[in-house]
Structure 1
Amino acid sequence: MNDIQRRVLTEAKRWLDTPYQHQASECGAGCDCLGLIRGIYRRLYGGEPVAPPPYTPDWAEECGEETLQKAARDWLVEIPNAQARPGDALLFRMSPDAPCKHIAILSAPNIITHAYWGRAVVESFFVPYWQRRWVHSFRFPEKDVSL
């Protein structure tokens, strides 16, 4: 595990129990899955590369484009799934023919941290339900961090 991954895990723990709130990204106040990643990125690097445009809960189904996957490829470092380690971000496709729509932090080999719709930021077991939907892995880039 590298220093960035350790910092991601430290920051992800701070977000636990943050209520789920669509489009939000404030630790303790509210976030969705993208907001969790945005908040961690801000804490690590001092800001966000770009602010996402407004999006609806069914944005992926409506547009049919790989918006989340493209953003992850633009700002994180894609790695093979087999190389994913705690502190890396995992991207999920909720159905085989839909664009990627969920993102989480791998917290341990069998645990993910994510903003869970209708609940909060939680640690969940990385069970077959999630494993079947996992399609891409990303590492936060190695650069100066503000944490």
Structure 2
Amino acid sequence: MTAPQSRIVAVARLWLGTPYCHQASLRGAGCDCLGLVRGVWREVHGAEPCPVPPYTPDWSEPQGEERLWAEAARLLRPGTGRPGDLLLFRMREGAVAKHLGILSRTGETPAFIHAWSGRGVVESPLSAPWARRIVALFDLEQGSNPTWQP
């Protein structure tokens, strides 16, 4: 692992135990999966690359739009499956991808850190059921895509 990758994982682990709170992004107080990523981003890179508009728990599902995927692809480079990469999950067949996690460990016992409703921020094994839900990986180490324009 590179030093920046190690830092991303270490910072994400500081969020473990943070309660789940929709739209929040404050370590120890509350966050959802996007809030976790936003908070880790701020601690590692500084200011977020753009404001996040309010969103509902079912955001983009009624329209069937891959809004989270499109924004991540616009702002971040593709990941390669290294610790510190952002994981984007589709929670069920035919649904939009809208759950995020940070890859924390690879190898024989892969794991990821994510905020889960009812559980808060946890580090979970990246088991086969989770792994098959991954639809995209993004590089959190490099920061914003240099071609991004606000």
Alpha-carbon shift at residue 62 of structure 1 (Å): 2.0
Q: Deviations over 1:90-112 (max 9, x none)?
A: 10011221211101011112111
Long gaps (5+) in structure 2? 144-150
- The alignment-based identity, stated in percent, is 50
Q: Deviations over 1:38-58 (max 9, x none)?
A: 001111121111121111111
Which residue matches 1:57? 57
Which residue matches 2:71? 71
Scaled by the length of structure 2, what TM-score is found?
0.88
Which residue matches 1:88? 85
List aligned pairs for 1:1-147, cutoff 5 A: 1-79=1-79, 83-109=80-106, 110-142=110-142
Long gaps (5+) in structure 1? none
- Letter paired with 1:36: L
Q: Deviations over 1:80-130 (max 9, x none)?
A: xxx301111110011221211101011112111000111110011111221
- Letter paired with 1:56: T
Separation in structure 2 between the aligned mates of residue 7 and residue 71 of structure 1, nearest angstrom:
24
Ranges of 4+ aligned residues in structure 1 off by more than 4 Å: none
SS in structure 2 of the partner of residue 63 of structure 1: coil
Alpha-carbon shift at residue 140 of structure 1 (Å): 1.4
Alpha-carbon shift at residue 74 of structure 1 (Å): 2.1
Contact in 2 for aligned 1:60/1:98 (Cα 8 Å): no
